[in-house]
Structure 1
Amino acid sequence: MSGKILRSAAMALAVAVLAAGCTPAQMQAPATTAQAGRAAAAFAAVKEVPPRLRMFLQAFPKGGDLHNHLSGAVYAEDFVDWALQDGTCFDLESLAASAPPCDAKGGRPALKDAIAKGQTSRDAVVDAWSMRNYVPGISAASGHQQFFRTFPRFDPATEGRRGDELVAAIGWAADENTLYQELMTSPQMWPAQALAARVVPDDVGDEDFAAQYEILMKAGLADLVPKARAELDAAEAELRRHYGCPGSGDPACDIGIRYLAQVIRTLPPKRVFAQSLLGFLLAQADPRVVGVNLVAPEDTDIVLKTYSTQMRQLGWLGKNVAPVPVALHAGELTLGLVPPPDLRFHIREAIELAGARRIGHGVDISYETDADGILRRMAEQPVAIEIQLTSNEVILGVAGKDHPFDTYRAYGVPVTLNTDDAGVSRNDLTDEYWKAVQRYDLSYDDILRFSRNGLTYSFLEGESLWADPVAFVPVAACAGAVPGADAPPPACATFLAANRKAALQWRLEERLAAFATEAAKLADPQ
């Protein structure tokens, strides 16, 4: 079996090289190395044994998690611990946390008192604040309802805890051998939308973006930028303190971290515009913030009615404020959740109007008008697709052959695997790889591609290591060297020093090469 895998990989590489008009000697792709062959053989040996496959994928180096909400990445057990420590209140009817002062007589005691008196239990709170013990068809709420209800329930327990959230998320990444996290978070977004509600008059049109821009800037929206940066500074300071970075040698200290400014889209258009503008300003001012994304349920009434306006907002900001990268939740819908007309255009408008460079979820692609044309455009441009298998199954009930995973791959759209909200869904990135292998009969070359795509299609600053991101052919400065197997020659070392993305990609190749030498132990435990 391993020989067949290697022959197929070699044939695919030869085709790619010839198509590029170069000889194999000029363009050495990492897939041709002996290390990759050994890892592929080990993968083939464990692929049909789920526990051993999990062990393999846990140790397998993963490039990046590009669709990861910071608050949703934290498991509910941590939220409960923080609520107990902070004296957070708990509503016995809604099961939601809230800030003190508490009101025990009114049914809102401190969580610690509610547990002590048997009014609730720690397990019951964890279940209410996550998808744990949710059973489709038996639980009272749908998966969609339960998932999105968790956020307002646990959100008050996260107050002042962004640093702890970051500690948890980066700890998971280190445990799973993930090199990079692109985390969605919303510093100062609520003050931004509140400012818009106060200062932008009703008679200013929802699509008069220039007028809204002038009003918001005169009202001091830009003053929120240093406050947002200070929030990130404080969170990262807690991360460094917790893991002893630098100098402790803890793997968490080596994780690359960048942020997407997370805009809450389930608000009136002017308030969404204010948040989006803040996101663009923040990305201009802080190199850690590498893009903007709109979040919250795409199927709510206000989003369905204002979706096109939101897309035009982002397009205007990209042209008139700064060319900030945009990744968008688009097509996180399916038939029955919304009327058919709402399935026809969300992905297309995210690309055409908002200029999205990545699409999150994209589950409803087959319902889009001219789906064939959109898929071909995504492959050619390219616009990567962020796939979250667990999330799509839990929220939309779309899984297996019903999921467009293989459709995107068939069209050549770059695919990345991600967690979405690992703490809420009770998954991790290894589980996403495991599900993909189990459900879609993937090869080692496939998971290599997903791992590399997690860095190639990130918004990390600098140029990519790959001149050809399909055949994984290095740029000219690194030609002649096999990334991960050879030391970078002088010109390549200079290139890597100047390009953060390429440097992290080179490190991934080093990790993959080292993993390949250890993979045989996982394939043959004797």
Structure 2
Amino acid sequence: MPSITKAFILCVILCCSTFSHVWADEQSAATYMQSIKSERAKLRQFMQSFPKGGDLHNHLSGAVYAETMLDWAAEDGLCVFLETPSIGLDAAGDCSTNGWSSAGGVLLNANERRRIINALSVRSYHPELGWSGHDQFFVTFERMMVKPSRLADMLVAVSDRAAAQNIQYLELMQTPVLGELIGMLSAVELTGDPEKDYEILMHGPFGEAMPSLLENARKARRDAFEQRAKLQNCGEKQASVGCDVEIKFIHQVVREFSPAVVFAQIILGWELMADEDGSVGLNLVAPEDGYLALRDYTYHMQMIDYLYSAKGERNITLHAGELMLGLVRPKQLKFHIREAIEIGHAKRIGHGIAIAYEDDSAGLLQHMHEKSVMVEINLTSNDVILGVKGKDHPWSLYRDAGVPTALSTDDEGVSRIDLTYEYMRAVTEHGIAYEELKALSRNSIVYSFLPKPRKKELLDKLEHEFKMFEKQFD
């Protein structure tokens, strides 16, 4: 027999043997997962170590747990308004005003500490007449206050938590310099024509201040990453595991403001996304059912479309379809996801709960499949805010249509969860099989806004982690 033939046969035998072994390891892991899916503690243990790729829909302010915010408030000399309760500063600036207390004092009062943790999250929340999970969830952001200098501490908190769950990558939504824009632009009137409105903004106080606004945003983030590295001892022998978690920012635009403030935020984001180490994408946030969010929805999409066409393409992911019948009128359920994709150039959709109510929803799903528009699935958030869970969730529509999806946390601190918990819900409530869990994990890297070479590196690392993880069950 010619030597080349022998070599070929040997290669086939070895390759098939290796493939068979890897496949057997995957099947062993899948079988074990199925055997423990009703045993919560064992499933948690399994999912904690399961390689999860990334978390692509994660609001940084909402990712921090209330207890951590309260600790920081005490260290920074902030106050607690006891009636709400909420973190802030009283008029006197020393927490002495009637109805206020020092955050440090609240820490030592078990009842007050319990109340503020509940007020800054959905812990212990139960729906009541006139106050829904939606109301409780979104009001928490009005009750939070942290000093800007805590940005690095926030990065440490979320990256350490991610590392403990075998997560490689985070895209964190964060809003820079918003306070400066509100004071500058709240009284500015726009025309409704994005091209004209861009000129109005750029030839006014905003345009003059834009270089300093951009530098302030860049410096804050640059300083935060440098401080994060110091706090986690990155590069040192005793480095924190969180150092290995890669973090990028999504430029977060708060849409419940006047058009001038919203457009200015988007313009700033466009510039920051052009930076080599700047934001990797842009998103619009705040309740989609808010008055201004609903009134100006199409206008906001047109703002993005104008910049996309006139100033260069950028990565866009949008909250769209985070709505339900009853929360809004039927006519407002028909077009948000489609406009986010067709006008807003969204490569990813956050939530997408109202997909079945969209005009020609089947055609839209087919379009999303063909264009590989990924949906960021937030199971606990959808349950708390909209009361949508289990078989009522449209995740099965996306999966049946071949639309790519990935699991994410949304606001894990406010919701009192982590990404491991979301993977557990996927198994227990939606019957997701082990092989599909792996696909979800891969999707969180494939559909990230990282450059292609970096995606490949992380995917290669992820595949290695899968192999190591599955060997435990051989």
Distance change in 2, residues 1:191/1:108 (3 Å): same
Structure 2 residue matching 1:161: 3-state secondary structure = helix
State the AA in 2 paired with 1:152: E
**Equivalent of 1:314 in 298, 304, 313:** 304
Residues 295-310 of structure 1: pairs in structure 2 closer than 5 A? 295-310=285-300
Partner residue, 1:415: 405
- Assess if the C-alpha contact under 8 Å between 1:79 and 1:158 holds in 2: no
Q: How far 1:206 sits from its partner (Å)?
A: 5.6
Looking at structure 2, the residues matched to 47 and 326 of structure 1 have their Cα atoms a distance apart, in angstroms, of 36
Looking at structure 1, the residues matched to 107 and 161 of structure 2 have their Cα atoms a distance apart, in angstroms, of 28
1:337 equivalent to 2:327? Answer yes
Partner residue, 1:509: 463
Partner residue, 1:481: none
Partner residue, 2:114: 123
1:134 equivalent to 2:122? Answer no
Residues 354-433 of structure 1: pairs in structure 2 closer than 5 A? 354-433=344-423
- Assess if the C-alpha contact under 8 Å between 2:249 and 2:278 holds in 1: yes
1:215 equivalent to 2:197? Answer no
Q: How far 1:385 sits from its partner (Å)?
A: 0.2
Partner residue, 1:65: 55
Partner residue, 1:165: 154
- Assess if the C-alpha contact under 8 Å between 2:78 and 2:87 holds in 1: yes
The C-alpha deviation readout for 1:68-117, integer Å capped at 9, x for no partner, is: 0011001100011011111112222221211350453432232334566x
Structure 1 residue matching 2:203: 3-state secondary structure = helix
Looking at structure 1, the residues matched to 64 and 123 of structure 2 have their Cα atoms a distance apart, in angstroms, of 13
Structure 2 residue matching 1:121: 3-state secondary structure = helix
Structure 1 residue matching 2:96: 3-state secondary structure = coil
The C-alpha deviation readout for 1:376-430, integer Å capped at 9, x for no partner, is: 1111101000000000000111111111011110100001100000000001000
Structure 1: unaligned runs, 5 residues or longer: 1-24, 464-498, 521-526
Distance change in 2, residues 1:144/1:29 (3 Å): farther
Identity of aligned residues (%): 40
- CA RMSD of the aligned region, Å? 2.3
| Structure 1, 175-184 or 234-243: larger mean CA deviation | 234-243
Looking at structure 2, the residues matched to 420 and 389 of structure 1 have their Cα atoms a distance apart, in angstroms, of 9
Structure 1 residue matching 2:251: 3-state secondary structure = strand
Q: How far 1:34 sits from its partner (Å)?
A: 4.2
Looking at structure 2, the residues matched to 325 and 113 of structure 1 have their Cα atoms a distance apart, in angstroms, of 45
Structure 1 residue matching 2:249: 3-state secondary structure = strand
Looking at structure 1, the residues matched to 151 and 19 of structure 2 have their Cα atoms a distance apart, in angstroms, of 40
Partner residue, 1:476: none
The C-alpha deviation readout for 1:131-186, integer Å capped at 9, x for no partner, is: 11112348x721011111111101x2354211111111101100100010000011
1:518 equivalent to 2:449? Answer no
Looking at structure 1, the residues matched to 302 and 249 of structure 2 have their Cα atoms a distance apart, in angstroms, of 23
Partner residue, 2:10: none
Looking at structure 2, the residues matched to 324 and 330 of structure 1 have their Cα atoms a distance apart, in angstroms, of 18
Looking at structure 2, the residues matched to 272 and 393 of structure 1 have their Cα atoms a distance apart, in angstroms, of 28
**Equivalent of 1:99 in 53, 66, 89:** 89
1:234 equivalent to 2:223? Answer yes
- Assess if the C-alpha contact under 8 Å between 2:234 and 2:240 holds in 1: yes
Partner residue, 2:172: 183
With normalisation by structure 2, the TM-score equals 0.90
- Assess if the C-alpha contact under 8 Å between 1:68 and 1:418 holds in 2: yes
Distance change in 2, residues 1:352/1:31 (3 Å): farther
- Assess if the C-alpha contact under 8 Å between 2:84 and 2:119 holds in 1: no
State the AA in 2 paired with 1:513: K
Structure 1 residue matching 2:469: 3-state secondary structure = helix
Structure 2 residue matching 1:419: 3-state secondary structure = coil
Looking at structure 2, the residues matched to 415 and 301 of structure 1 have their Cα atoms a distance apart, in angstroms, of 29
Looking at structure 2, the residues matched to 366 and 173 of structure 1 have their Cα atoms a distance apart, in angstroms, of 33
- Assess if the C-alpha contact under 8 Å between 1:195 and 1:221 holds in 2: no
Looking at structure 2, the residues matched to 184 and 288 of structure 1 have their Cα atoms a distance apart, in angstroms, of 12
Looking at structure 2, the residues matched to 29 and 183 of structure 1 have their Cα atoms a distance apart, in angstroms, of 37
Structure 1 residue matching 2:269: 3-state secondary structure = helix
With normalisation by structure 1, the TM-score equals 0.82
1:287 equivalent to 2:277? Answer yes
Q: How far 1:119 sits from its partner (Å)?
A: 10
